[in-house]
Amino acid sequence: MFFVACLLNLCKIIAKINRYGVFVSEKKIALASDHGGFELKAILAEHLRAMGFSVADLGTNSGESVDYPDYAAKIGEWISGNPTDMGILICGSGIGISIAANRNSQIRAALCHDGLSASLSRQHNNANVLCLGARLIGVDSAKDCVNKFLNTEFEGGRHTARVEKLSDFIKKE
């Protein structure tokens, strides 16, 4: 009996090591950006850690030019493997990276500019990825977006069928 219990616990631990080899003990916030967003990403990663969140930084980590679809794809892969996690994506305007992120059927990415849009993206759209434009948004507004995004629940109700239609739409393609 003891042996079986140990084996079960071991299986649970192995199940929490995701495809990136990261030990996932709780809900993580995955972050990624292109070169236009890496400085804001570092600030937000620190902000998240200070609030007690566990952070997975998927790059990029320098100002060397990279392509935003590649970093949107990394978040898509992460959320597909860890569906209860949430993501934050940053590029210069937030536009390119949000378009790219929404190509993945598991992602509901919302480009937000203030706390209200971030709250609504959760309440009405059950967004699981917050997109920000580092060249357009100030640090304080970006932090406000993050706080509202992570502390607001999906309202469900009349919004449920609408959000489900987003997945149907992709399936029909």
Please, which residue, 91 or 129, has the CB nearer to ligand RB5? Answer: 91
Please, which residue, 70 or 114, has the CB nearer to ligand RB5? Answer: 70
Q: Assess 95 for contact with ligand RB5 (CB under 6 A).
A: yes
* CB of residue 74 to ligand RB5, shortest distance in Å: 15
Does residue 90 contact residue 61 with C-beta atoms inside 8 Å?
Answer: no
* Angle between helices 38-50 and 139-150 in degrees, nearest 10: 50
Sketch the per residue contact string, 21 through 40, with ligand RB5: x for CB under 6 A, - otherwise.
Answer: -------------x-x----
Angle made by CA atoms 90, 149, 145, in degrees to the nearest 5: 55
Please, which residue, 55 or 66, has the CB nearer to ligand RB5? Answer: 66
Question: Active-site residue numbers?
Answer: 91, 124
Closest CA to 127 of 157, 147, 107: 107
* CB of residue 28 to ligand RB5, shortest distance in Å: 24
Q: Which of 92, 113, 150, 170 binds ligand RB5 (CB under 6 A)?
A: 92
Alpha helices in 82-136 (DSSP H): 95-101, 115-123
Q: Assess 91 for contact with ligand RB5 (CB under 6 A).
A: yes
CA-to-CA dists, residue 62 to 70, 105, 130, 172, angstroms: 15, 29, 21, 39
Site for ligand RB5 in 41-80 (CB under 6 A): 68
The DSSP string of 128-148 is -EEEEETTTS-HHHHHHHHHH
Binding site for ligand RB5 (CB under 6 A): 34, 36, 68, 91-93, 95-96
